[in-house]
């Protein structure tokens, strides 16, 4: 975890169950998608430049779709879309804040 992300999480008192950075990497995109495909819960998209954060939720089998639409399809949240265009995908992190029923992202 980068120092920037760690500082933002600490400042906001957030203890995520999983974090991903380098979202511009195809490998990271695939890793996130496969990790959250069956997951339901609360996620966050964090701007590592200014600390702005979008928080959303996804039902089982849909969180990975929200991840893709917000960050790659740019047809999720209009505010996230504008920020990604302005700052670049490499300046964002995707975090899972909480999963429903304690789904283990590391299994």
Report whether pLDDT(106) > 70.
Answer: no
Residue 105 in any domain: the answer is no
Q: Tell me the CATH number at 92.
A: 3.40.1440
Report whether pLDDT(52) > 60.
Answer: yes
Q: What angle do CA 2, 97, 22 make, to 5 degrees?
A: 35
Residue 13 in any domain: the answer is yes
Residue 91 in any domain: the answer is yes
**Domain containing residue 89:** 3-100
| CA 106 to each of CA 40, 61, 62: distance values in angstroms, whole numbers, following the listed order | 14, 16, 18
**What are residue 18's DSSP bridge partners?**
96
* Cα–chain center distance at 104: 16
As a whole number, mean pLDDT of residues 25-29 equals: 95
Q: What angle do CA 31, 35, 39 make, to 5 degrees?
A: 150
Give the model's confidence band at 28: pLDDT under 50 very low, under 70 low, under 90 confident, else very high.
Answer: very high
Report whether pLDDT(69) > 60.
Answer: yes
Residue 107 in any domain: the answer is no
Q: How many domains does the chain have?
A: 1
pLDDT of residue 70: 81
Residue 60 in any domain: the answer is yes
- Residue 73 burial class via C-beta count within 10 angstroms: exposed 0-12, middle 13-18, buried 19 and up: exposed
pLDDT of residue 2: 96
């Amino acid at each position: 975890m980068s120092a920037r992300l760690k500082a933002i999480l600490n400042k906001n008192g957030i203890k995520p169950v999983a974090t991903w950075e380098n979202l511009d990497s195809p490998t990271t995109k695939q890793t996130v998608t496969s990790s959250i495909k069956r997951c339901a819960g609360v996620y966050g998209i964090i701007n590592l430049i200014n600390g702005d954060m979008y928080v959303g939720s996804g039902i089982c089998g849909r969180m990975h779709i929200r991840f893709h639409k917000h960050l790659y399809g740019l047809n999720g949240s209009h505010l996230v879309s504008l920020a990604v265009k302005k700052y670049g995908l490499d300046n964002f992190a995707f975090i899972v804040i909480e999963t429903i029923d304690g789904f283990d992202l590391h299994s």
